[in-house]
Structure 1
């Protein structure tokens, strides 16, 4: 009975720690593959600041963001 409880507690702790690191790894990978800011969001932000962005400018900003994410690995 006592060993069953100890094994259960150890299994619970290992599962919690393993789950935490697995979820952390998955979320990092997800946000690297799918950045939370899209070109439409950048276009809206620039429009709110009174600028009319060209497609070339939007592409440059998106590429800069992708490159900075790759460099932060």
Structure 2
């Protein structure tokens, strides 16, 4: 009886640890492929700050954000 209980506890703990790392890997990959901020959001933020965003400025901001993401890897 005790070996079954101990095996079940070890199995549950191993599942939790493996699940944590799989979920962490998946979320990193998801946010890398789908950044949480878009060009439209940047355009709205710049408009709220009183700036008239040009396409050139939006492209510069997006490029700097992508460069920062690559640097963090």
TM class, shorter-chain normalised? over 0.9
Segments ≥4 residues shifted beyond 2 Å: none
Q: Structure 1: which 5+ residue stretches go unaligned?
A: none
Structure showing greater relative contact order (alpha-carbon pairs closer than 8 Å, 6 or more residues apart): 1
- 1:33 to partner: Cα distance: 1.3
TM-score for both structures, normalised by structure 1: 0.96
Deviations 1:11-69 (A, max 9, x none): 00000000001101111111111110000000000000000110111011111101110
Quote the RMSD (CA, aligned, Å): 0.6
Superposition pairs of residues 45-60 of structure 1, within 5 angstroms: 45-60=45-60
